[in-house]
Amino acid sequence: MMTARTPEHSQKNRRENISMSPDVAVVGGSAAGFFTAFLLAREGMPVRVFEQSETLDPEARTLIVTSRMKDLLQDAGSASIVNEIRKFELFTDGRAATISLDRPDLIIERAKLIRSLAERAQESGAKIDFARKFRSLAPDANGITLEMQRPGKETAETLSTRVVVGGDGAASRVAQSAGWPKLETVPLVQAIVPLPKDMTPDTVRVWFVPDDTPYFYWLIPESADRGALGLIGEAGSEARKHLEAFLLKRKLEAISFQGARIPVYRSWVPVRKKLGGGSIFLVGDAAAQVKVSTVGGIVTGLRGAAGVAEAILRGGSSAELRQLRRELDLHLLVRRAMHRFTQDDYSRLVDSLNAPAKRSLSRYSRDEALKVLWRVCVSQPRLILMGLRGLLTGGRFSSRADS
């Protein structure tokens, strides 16, 4: 006599257990994901990283970060550094200002950084599984059950773990599966271009053109002869058009283009949820850990990873996460003040940068927003009035996102 096969029975036959279930499963081979794995593994915690790509081949992208990255990573980030920046040149409506840096900013190559962090995680004992696409998670008696899919395999793999860390980016499937709201994103587009002959490789140029973008254009040298010219937009198609027009205006020809979707920080995203007998954490872009003033997320994402690792290891809260929340909220306040600045506002801003204000900007990095704001406003009180006017007239800044 043949027994009928129930849907539940069929589903069980399409799954197989993964052996060696870890204490912590990190989903997503991002910089923040690998850094979390490294911090936990070096403390002796069993960690596995699941990455959907068949090999570790992250997209190349030229980025600028503060020296804080060195403080966080020590020599683990050295391989990704391709240049150092000691001066910023700000331009708006025919005006210009130059700011020197006491501690140089770093130009890094994102793909090299991710590979370096993956190597450190493995050396510390973390196991990396490639070609594993996250499908779902569910509570179980011991913690959380993850379901992963391999290419070309009908049978899904499952494992039970105590902690899941979502390091799978702004469109995090872990976050969506666990009930976090979907993040808003904005487009980053940039072109690799020959460095202008009148520009030294230790200098970054920034242009404020609010008719094109409420953020800014940048040109960051990655070597003595090449740089990345880009902007953050509010709509992807418009951002690319503005970039191409700006390239023509500056008489620069693109060698190649790079792009990404960057999460917009609106308010602090709680990084932990309990599920069954376990916990789910988010790190990096998955938690919108991005300085919305400049839309930079490498350093803040690494800090978020350090905070989550601290919370997991100590079984509770994290001082690093509390400090990061204050920092991101302060950058949000700055962005709200500046998001509706006009060309005249930026002209007044550049004109207001007297010697003491420039000195404060030289001494403190963008990752020390409170110190920067306090020192600059003390040295140039006009900036307080400009900020208040921006807050009162700009209100809550908005972004439009398209593909």
CATH code of the domain in which 28 resides: 3.50.50.60
Residues 193, 249: one domain?
A: yes
Residues 46, 130: one domain?
A: yes
Residues 137, 88: one domain?
A: no
Q: Is residue 94 over pLDDT 90?
A: no
User: For residue 377, what pLDDT is reported?
Assistant: 56
290-330 pLDDT, tens digit each: 999 888 999 999 999 999 999 999 988 899 999 999 999 98
User: For residue 316, what pLDDT is reported?
Assistant: 81
Q: Is residue 153 over pLDDT 80?
A: yes
Task: Please indicate, yes or no, if residue 71 is contained in any of the structural domains.
Answer: no
User: For residue 360, what pLDDT is reported?
Assistant: 67
Decide if 47 contacts 125 (C-beta within 8 A).
yes
Model pTM score? 0.88
Task: Please indicate, yes or no, if residue 75 is contained in any of the structural domains.
Answer: no
Q: Is residue 356 over pLDDT 90?
A: no
Residues 120, 177: one domain?
A: yes
Q: Is residue 278 over pLDDT 60?
A: yes
Task: Please indicate, yes or no, if residue 77 is contained in any of the structural domains.
Answer: no
pLDDT band at 16, cuts 50/70/90?
A: very low
- Amino acid symbol at 250: R
The residues facing 194 across adjacent strands are: 226
Q: Choose one of 331, 360, 384: the last residue of a domain.
A: 331
199-236 pLDDT, tens digit each: 999 999 999 999 999 999 999 999 999 999 999 998 87
Residues 257, 269: one domain?
A: no
Task: Please indicate, yes or no, if residue 275 is contained in any of the structural domains.
Answer: yes
Q: Is residue 1 over pLDDT 50?
A: no
Q: Choose one of 331, 359, 378: the last residue of a domain.
A: 331
Give the C-alpha distances (Å, rounded to integers) separating 257 from 231, 318, 341: 12, 39, 28
Decide if 106 contacts 66 (C-beta within 8 A).
yes
User: For residue 348, what pLDDT is reported?
Assistant: 81
Residues 297, 376: one domain?
A: no
Least confident among 81-85, 183-187, 369-373: 369-373
**And the tokens for 331?**
């950058």
Least confident among 105-119, 293-307, 309-323, 350-364: 350-364
Residues 200, 95: one domain?
A: yes
125-149 burial by CB neighbour count: b if 16+ within 10 A, else e? bbebbebbbbeebeebeebbbbbbb
Neighbours of 103 (CB within 10 A): 15
- What's the rounded mean pLDDT across residues 106-132? 96
The residues facing 272 across adjacent strands are: 281
Residues 6+ positions from 318 with CB-CB distance below 8 Å? 307, 308, 310, 311
pLDDT band at 349, cuts 50/70/90?
A: confident
Residues 382, 251: one domain?
A: no
**And the tokens for 207?**
């242009």
- What's the rounded mean pLDDT across residues 365-375? 63
The domain that holds 203 is classified in CATH as 3.30.9.10
- For residue 27, what are the domain limits? 7-58+112-183+265-331
User: For residue 388, what pLDDT is reported?
Assistant: 47
- Amino acid symbol at 12: K
Decide if 216 contacts 231 (C-beta within 8 A).
yes
What is the distance between the alpha carbons of residues 76 and 68, in angstroms, rounded to a whole number? 13
Mean pLDDT of the chain: 87
Q: Choose one of 216, 233, 263: the last residue of a domain.
A: 263
**And the tokens for 30?**
């991002």
Q: What are phi and psi of 158, to 5 degrees?
A: -125, 155
User: For residue 373, what pLDDT is reported?
Assistant: 60
Number of folded domains that form the chain: 3
